[in-house]
Homo-oligomer: A and B are copies of this chain.
Amino acid sequence: MHRSLPAVAAMFSLAAQAQTPAISDADLAIAAQIRDRALDGTSAWDTVASLTSEVGPRFAGSPGDRAAVAWAVDKLKQLGFQNVRTQDVTVPQWVRGTLEVAITAPYPQPLTAVSLGGSIGTAQGAIAAEVVQVADIEALRARPRSEVEGRIVYIARRTARARDGGEYKAAASGRTQGASAAAKLGARAIVIRSIGTSSERFGHTGTVKYVADVPRIPAVALANPDADLLERQLALGRPTTLEIRSTARDLPPMRSANVIGELPGSGAPDEIVLLGAHLDSWDLGPGALDDAAGVAIVTEAVRLIREMQIKPRRTLRVVLFADEEFVQSGANAYAGQPVAEIERHVVAMEADLGAGPVWRFDHRVAEEALPGMGAFMRVLEPLGIRRGSSTADGGTDIAPLRRLGVPVISFQHDASRYFDYHHTANDTLDKVDREALDQTVAAYASTAFLAANAGGDFGRLPPTPAPAPANPAVPVAPR
């Protein structure tokens, strides 16, 4: 893949077929060097180790969140980033407190469970009620009120393992929408099978989204072995009751920050190629895969280019977003900058699907930019990456930019094992594979360089409206 420098004469050769982006053979050669340097070994794993060891859990609004912001500012400076700064973000503050869930009949047993993010607690001490099992959110909505009212709903939906992680999104609707769907039918609480692919005994958290005009009810997820246990007791056909005690609650909003650092462009410094990841994690664990790995991938991608003394034409900007996990305060604050700022973003990419390896190259770019996208594959194919679609949503933190018209590049990481660990206490450093992480850095770094140096750009996407905000009564960061 290393091409001779005379190939520089072929610069913009692709522009003959497409206006944008036009990638030169010389830049492809440099991108291949970046890629191969990354494959030789990066310091990305050390960054994951540093964030998970020196900060650990860093849920929005928590002391760990503030420690993470300080860590990130120091780390970006230490790694040679320029224009290192923070963007203030106001984040909601939810605390899970304590949770006890137990089967009380027919055979009493304690269950391993976690409150879903944003869940209310059981203010009056405990909720004790009979359980009604439903297969999924659709089955819940089809139930008559008489079968649900006064009960605790249990959603039994399993999440299948899949390389593209697509099953997660399908299953997660029960988590996000189940509480209000159950409450509409008079349920007192909702319990779901964890939206995770592991049979290890960890509850899998994630946000519950309450609908505005519906009573809020407590929402918890059972570890998969405990969901099995509940189902075995339910299968006996006898009345099965649960007791739930939770002190989960909202506290006043707190200050947090997006942390930003750059490698300024040598030719077009006002044009930005954004590499994003999120700095926050859930409170249950140190978030090694979600998303310390992403933080490490994007910072290492840019650090490596700088270390190789390569000077990309456009600015490479790393943004470590606040509060991705809960209500995306950081992403919304970032996208809430003046339009002139947003328009400087040529393309955005985000690493938030674990530690790799990458297996597919997706994007969403303007129609007229599509013919140029194939050129990226000349650097990516040797990494075992295949071409995907141009229908990517980009990822949670850059979706608001995409909705404003910013094109996105989106790498699919192999998510086969990701949902074993994601959103659990078990998302620890030992789950991060150095080699896969380096392959991922190779993909992001080479691609970011090509995007920064491409002649022409990726066009603009048609603006799309933002979805309705989740949990409207929960404090959301100002735009």
Contact = CB atoms under 8 A, between A and B. Distances in A.
Interface in A40-56: 49, 52-56
A430 B225 contact: yes
A110 interface: yes
A285 B429 contact: no
Contact of A225 (B57, B109, B110, B428): B428
A54 B235 CA distance: 12
Interface stretch (A167-175, A226-234, A389-397): A226-234
Interface string A29-66: 00000000000000000000100111111000000000
Contact of A109 (B57, B109, B226): B57
Given A53-B233, A201-B202, A201-B425, A224 B430 contact: yes
A313 B385 CA distance: 67
A426 B200 contact: yes
Interface in A293-335: none
A107 to B, nearest CB: 5
Interface in A102-119: 107, 109-110, 112
Contacts of A426: 200-201, 225
- The complex is assembled from copies of this chain, and their number is 2
A53 B232 contact: yes
A87 interface: no
A56 B107 contact: yes
Contacts of A286: 109, 229
Nearest to A229: B53
Contacts of A285: 201
Contact of A429 (B54, B56, B229): B229
A53 B240 CA distance: 13
Contacts of A225: 426, 428-430
A55 B200 contact: no
Identify which of A54, A107, A225 gathers the most chain B CB atoms within 10 Å of its CB.
Answer: A225
Interface in A88-139: 107, 109-110, 112
B199 A430 contact: yes
A233 B55 CA distance: 11
A57 B110 contact: yes
A426 B226 CA distance: 10
Contacts of A109: 56-57, 286
Nearest to A425: B201
Which of A52, A199, A232, A428 has the most C-beta atoms of chain B within 10 angstroms of its own C-beta? A428
A229 to B, nearest CB: 6
Nearest to A103: B56
**Which of A56, A201, A425, A430 has most B Cβ within 10 Å?**
A201
Contacts of A229: 52-53, 56, 286, 428-429
Contact of A428 (B110, B228, B430): B228
A286 B103 CA distance: 14
Interface string A52-86: 11111100000000000000000000000000000
Contacts of A429: 225, 228-229
A116 B281 CA distance: 30
29 contacts: A49-B232, A52-B229, A53-B107, A53-B229, A53-B233, A54-B107, A55-B107, A56-B107, A56-B109, A56-B110, A56-B229, A57-B110, A112-B425, A199-B428, A199-B431, A200-B200, A200-B202, A201-B285, A201-B426, A201-B428, A224-B430, A225-B426, A225-B429, A225-B430, A228-B428, A228-B429, A229-B286, A229-B428, A229-B429
Given A224-B430, A225-B429, A228-B428, 13 more contacts: A56-B107, A109-B286, A112-B425, A199-B428, A199-B430, A200-B202, A201-B285, A201-B425, A201-B428, A225-B426, A226-B428, A228-B429, A229-B286
Counting from the closest, the 5 A-B pairs by CB-CB distance are A225-B428, A56-B109, A201-B426, A54-B107, A199-B430
